[in-house]
Amino acid sequence: MKRGFIRFWFCIAAAVLAAAIADPLVESISNAGWFGPGTFTDHSNLDVLPALFCGGVFVICYLALRVRREFLRASGEALRARVAWLLPFIVTAQLGVLYTMETLEQVVVAGHVMGGTVWLGGPMWFSLCAHALVGVTVAYGLARAASTCARTTLRVIRRLRALATRALHAPAPLAMRGRGMAWIRANSPVLCRIGNRAPPFMFA
């Protein structure tokens, strides 16, 4: 499993989650009138729940790939050390996700694309700064949480494998053997009384 493929899933997951978190935050500030009476939003947040669901799916896919790679004795610190290098791609993908979310939402709610910078949810300077800040925060938070979760999952898997291997290869204790024989005697008294005698013979 190549590191670039795992980083790709990480970037997509971080971008979608950051867009889903920052979008309602920026729109709520705009709708509260902080930037005046201008039309900054479409007054709808229907796109947030699907985005959060997709982001959760991407996070699960990334965690599965991360656990698999670490299980193959790959470096667990490689991604965390390179999060800063991935930030430009994450923020760019985040804005692309935001534009797609808002455009589809405008078509569903208003029946057409509203145009302009409505998809940003606020003044351009504020929206871009807010989305970039949320994107950086989500990227580092996701990297830390994913690293912890991957190590914990890997530890649990290794312990379960060790327990299963030990159970398969360990000889049965004498106490368990004694209990097994007691169960056989109690449930099969006829067989236990036969012993090692030969079968009886009948004479004419």
pLDDT value of position 93? 93
Over residues 39-62, the mean pLDDT reads 77
Q: Which residue type, as a one-letter code, is found at position 168?
A: L
The candidate with the shortest Cα–Cα distance to 86, out of 7, 2, 3, 1, is 7
pLDDT value of position 95? 92
pLDDT value of position 189? 54
The band of 45, judged by pLDDT with boundaries at 50, 70 and 90, is low
Higher pLDDT, 115 or 57: 57
Enter the tokens of residue 142. Answer: 């996701």
Domain ranges within the chain, ordered by starting residue: 3-168
Please state which of the ranges 33-37, 40-44, 52-56, 99-103 shows the lowest mean pLDDT: 40-44
pLDDT value of position 188? 53
pLDDT value of position 79? 57
Residue 85 has pLDDT above 60, yes or no: yes
In contact, 122 and 36? CB cutoff 8 Å: no
Q: What percent of the chain has pLDDT over 90?
A: 15
Residue 36 has pLDDT above 80, yes or no: no
Residue 204 has pLDDT above 60, yes or no: no
Q: pTM for the complete prediction?
A: 0.66
Cα–Cα distance for residue pair 9/2, rounded to 1 Å: 12
Higher pLDDT, 195 or 47: 47
- Cα dihedral: 45, 49, 55, 56 (round 10): 150
Alpha helical stretches, state H, the chain: 3-31, 48-71, 78-81, 83-110, 124-169, 174-187, 189-194
pLDDT value of position 16? 92
CA distances from 5 to 20, 69, 90 (A): 23, 11, 14
pLDDT value of position 153? 78
Tens-digit pLDDT profile for residues 149-198 = 877 877 887 788 778 777 777 665 544 555 555 555 555 555 445 555 55
The band of 94, judged by pLDDT with boundaries at 50, 70 and 90, is very high
In contact, 27 and 47? CB cutoff 8 Å: no
Tens-digit pLDDT profile for residues 20-29 = 898 888 877 8
Over residues 135-158, the mean pLDDT reads 84
